[in-house]
Amino acid sequence: MNDSAPALSVVIPAYNEAKYLPIYLPTVLASLRQWEQSSGQRGEVIVVDNASTDDTARIAAEHGAHVVTEPERGIGQARNTGAIAASGDYLVFIDADVFFPLEGITDAMRHLTSGACMGGAIPPLYEPTKWGTRLLVAAWGLYRRFCGGAQGVTQFCTREAFFALAGYRPELYMSEDVDFFARLTRLGRQRGAPVVHLNHLRVRPSNRRFEHWSSWRMIWWANPATAHLFLTSRRFWRHWYDSAVR
């Protein structure tokens, strides 16, 4: 294995993920290992402990991740902290509660290192059991389809592009990932290196966001219209952030 500095940094924001990291982090590590073996390069996984009150940091470290701490709650801020700590020229942002496809890192890096794109995303495959949240997932799917957006469940980009955009906007308590990808898309068009959607792959998030609240509560709080009306309101999203949902 190449002993040089990491070429790739995977950033995982984590708030009270002690229950989920042993399930999902190994899928990210397996994908990273496959890319390392095929490329001869090295990557790193950075778990950002975002003011957890459980054993998130310990469990992440036991799995071989580099753990950094961000005491200010907020997923955009946590991602930014991870990016600042990262050594790689390429950044992949992955949520802590997703099954990650084995080919995910390899395919993302193949596009990034070609120079033909500035970044991209792997779409999520949600499988909620409640009818209301199925409608919510469909609404967000249509929104992303017609607006060209992508969720932060998995997003990737060059380090240079990330810092050119000043990263995620920490003042946004919802849709910070949609906002970042929109700005990344515009930058890519300006530079002739458009973003890519790896639609042949899927990341599979857990259902906890949908099972934690009732269908009507999810529809009211997390639909595209409400999300845009209260993007910067910490008070409005306090229940979203103060629970295990976010």
State mean pLDDT over 61-68: 98
Integer angstrom CA distances of residue 228 from 105, 134, 173, 183, 221: 31, 20, 10, 16, 11
**Residue 197: predicted pLDDT:** 94
Number of CB atoms found within 10 A of residue 43's CB = 22
Can you tell me the distance from the alpha carbon of 170 to that of 184, in angstroms, rounded to the nearest whole number?
16
Q: Domains of the chain by range and CATH?
A: 8-129+150-207 (3.90.550.10)
Going by pLDDT thresholds of 50, 70 and 90, the confidence category of residue 3 is: low
pLDDT, tens digit, for every residue of 134-149? Answer: 777 776 677 666 666 7
Q: Is it the case that residue 161 has pLDDT exceeding 70?
A: yes
What is the token pair recorded at 11? 């950033």
DSSP 130-166: SHHHHHHHHHHHHHHHHHT---TTEEEEEHHHHHHTT
Residue with tokens 């530079």: 191
The pTM assigned to this predicted structure is 0.88
**Residue 210: predicted pLDDT:** 66
Going by pLDDT thresholds of 50, 70 and 90, the confidence category of residue 42 is: very high
Instruction: Write down the number of H helices and E strands in the chain.
Output: 11, 9
**Residue 156: predicted pLDDT:** 98
Backbone angles phi, psi at 142, to 5 degrees: -65, -40
